[in-house]
Amino acid sequence: MYADFQFEIYLNGLNDVLPSLPADLTRLEALAREKLPPEAYDYIAGSAGTGDTAVANREAFRRRRIVPRMLRGVTGGDLSTRVLGAELPAPLLLGPVGVLRIAHPEGELAVARAARSLGLPMVLSTAASHSMEEVAEVAGPRWYQLYWPGDRDLAVSFLERAAAAGYTALVVTLDTFTLAWRPGDLDNAYLPFLRGVGIQNYLADPVFTAEAGEDPIAHWAGVFGNPGLTWDDLAFLREHWDGPIALKGIQQSDDARRAVDAGMDGIVVSNHGGRQVDGAVASLDALPIVAHAVGDQIEVLFDSGVRTGADVVKALALGAKAVLLGRPYVYGLALDGEEGVRHVLRCLLAELELTLRLSGHDGVAALSSESLFEQPT
């Protein structure tokens, strides 16, 4: 049971049981802000444009309310589930976040260790600041996130390296072929790759090494600016990746159906945490529409705005099989490395389990849209 340490905390005090971080995960952002270099904090916490979509992501969660049911003989509260062919102890993954060394020197390694200690999959970003092979050495279950380079040889080399290093599923991010207008980073003139953090991931790659020495921004744009991709190109990925593939950044039902038609195994309903299209629909608002459009034909995952266990309950009730966590674990990383990430995950899982049981659900499979009430706007 994930919540077992709850009484231990009451008996001994939070800080004897967990690192000296608050149990209220929504307070971590303010603490991380005090610790991180200002431009790194702004990059992590920031979003596109006015931040409208990032705010809408949270509002969409607030608008939905859990409706607790009583006397339902709730005993266990089983969180385990099966996603893209993998048995997960809980419907939670660590979403792909690039350049984690800007938050902590151990970066992706610390995150991988924390995820492994709880048996949760980590989705490693193409833009990771440790190579996928280094991360694989310390990671447990692992998936690989692809920023799809225009150069097909480079794309194949990423896929082959990921498969060889034991990454079992592929998450292809479609919504970030170029960075959005992000005023905070523009005001700071800050892009992590400029500090030579992000691109280190590729130095082990012969194709990339040939290009090294070039201006890193021009290099990034040249390599990953691949806006001409279409649905037809997905056949290429199928040809070069044997495991399951999920498309990340889906927000619309026709796009979701096209993913089914293209033979994909999953989609991640996501607006990149509001970091790409400012004014875009809140990801949680898109979720039930997309989930309804595809039914059981493809697995639906979700991210953008998840901050608490109750949020996970809401996303699952609206049709997600599992959720990906973004910024919260990065704040934990910034505050206390591996321990900080584990703290975030343990608190979130405990709260998820308690919320599920207290609202009358004997496991994640018992959730449905009837578990929620939507407040009129």
Ligand X SMILES: CC(C)CC(=O)C(=O)O
Ligand Y SMILES: Cc1cc2nc3c(=O)[nH]c(=O)nc-3n(C[C@H](O)[C@H](O)[C@H](O)COP(=O)(O)O)c2cc1C
Give the shortest CB-46-to-ligand X separation in angstroms.
Answer: 9
Residue 275 in the binding site for ligand X (CB under 6 A): yes
Within 324-353, which residues bind ligand Y (CB under 6 A)?
Answer: 325-327
Exposed e or buried b per residue across 131-170, where buried means at least 16 C-beta atoms within 10 angstroms of its C-beta: bbebbbebbbbbbbbbbbbeeeebbbbbbebbbebebbbb
Phi, psi dihedral angles at 21 (to 5 degrees): -130, 150
Smallest separation, CB 129 to ligand Y (Å): 10
Burial grade of 186 (CB within 10 A; 0-12, 13-18, 19 or more): exposed
Q: Name which of ligand Y, ligand X, none residue 157 binds, using a CB cut-off of 5 to 8 Å depending on partner kind.
A: none
CB of 327 to ligand Y, least distance (A): 4
At its nearest, how many Å lie between ligand Y and the CB of residue 360? 27
Q: Where are the beta strands (DSSP E) in the chain?
A: 64-66, 81-83, 86-88, 92-94, 122-124, 142-146, 170-173, 245-250, 266-269, 299-302, 322-325, 372-374
Instruction: Report if residue 81 touches ligand Y, rule: CB under 6 A.
Output: no
**C-alpha torsion sign, points 271, 40, 348, 322:** positive
Integer Rg of the chain from CA:
20
CA distance 130 to 133: 8
Residue window 177-206: x/- pattern of binding to ligand X, with contact defined by CB under 6 A = --x------------------x--------
Q: Nearest-CA neighbor of 244 among 170, 165, 145, 331?
A: 170
Give the residue, chosen from 98, 121, 266, 309, that forms a contact with ligand X under the rule CB under 6 A: 98
Say which entry of ligand Y, ligand X, none residue 46 contacts (CB below 5 to 8 A, set by partner kind): none
- Nearest residue (CB) to ligand Y, 95 versus 288: 95
Instruction: State the amino acid at position 315 in one-letter form.
Output: A
Per partner kind, with CB cut-offs from 5 to 8 A, the member of ligand X, ligand Y, none near residue 343 is none
Per CB under 6 A, contacts with ligand Y among 283-312 are: 303-306
Find all residues with CB under 8 Å of 328, minimum gap 6, and list them: 25, 28, 306, 307, 344, 348
Considering the rule CB under 6 A, would residue 127 count as an interface residue with ligand X? yes
Could you say whether residue 201 binds ligand Y (CB under 6 A)?
no
**Secondary structure of residue 269 in the 3-state scheme:** strand
User: Binding mask 31-70 vs ligand Y (x if CB under 6 A, - otherwise)?
Assistant: -------------x--------------------------
Q: Known catalytic residues?
A: 272
Handedness of CA 258, 261, 262, 268 (dihedral sign): positive
Give yes or no for residue 272 binding ligand Y (CB under 6 A): yes
Pick from ligand Y, ligand X, none: which does 145 bind, CB < 5 to 8 A by kind?
A: ligand Y
Beta bridge mates, 122: 94, 142
Confirm if 199 and 223 have CB atoms less than 8 A apart: no
Nearer to ligand Y, 284 or 317 (CB): 284
Would you count residue 176 as binding ligand X (CB under 6 A)? yes
Task: Count Cβ atoms within 10 A of the Cβ of residue 176 and give its class: 0-12 exposed, 13-18 middle, 19 or more buried.
Answer: middle
What residue 288 binds from ligand X, ligand Y, none (CB within 5 to 8 A, per partner kind)? none
From the list ligand X, ligand Y, none, pick the one residue 141 interacts with, judged by a Cβ distance below 5 to 8 Å according to partner type. none
Q: Is 131 in the site for ligand Y (CB under 6 A)?
A: no
Per CB under 6 A, residues contacting ligand X are 98, 127, 176, 179, 198, 272, 275
Per CB under 6 A, residues contacting ligand Y are 44, 95-98, 125, 127, 145, 173, 248, 270, 272-273, 275, 303-306, 325-327
